Amino acid sequence: LDIKMPHLDGLAAARLIAAEGTCAVLMLTAFSQREVIDHAVDSGALAYLVKPFQMRDLLAAIESAIARFHEVHP
């Protein structure tokens, strides 16, 4: 998810998706401020990458988020 999206901001979307508990939430955004990152994690994001990002960092974030998701939702 991105922080800025039409109709629903990414943080609100992250909260809705995380509340469902059916998939992991990863944030991919240009916002690099610590308070935004903390808010995203508090909203349910399991990973947060700042654009531009390296593909290896995205793959590592995906693997980590999936592993953490399965720990919480076995």
Model confidence pLDDT, tens digit, residues 28-63 = 999 999 999 999 999 999 899 999 999 999 999 999
Residue 60 lies in a domain: yes
Give this prediction's pTM.
Answer: 0.83
Query: For the residues of the chain, what is the DSSP string, one character each?
Result: --SS-SSS-HHHHHHHHHHHTSS--EEEES---HHHHHHHHHTT-SEEEESS--HHHHHHHHHHHHHHHHHH--
Residue 38 lies in a domain: yes
CATH number at residue 25: 3.40.50.2300
Where residue 23 falls among pLDDT bands split at 50, 70, 90?
confident
Residue 1 lies in a domain: no
Number of domain units in the chain? 1
Residue 32 lies in a domain: yes
Range of the domain at 26: 10-72
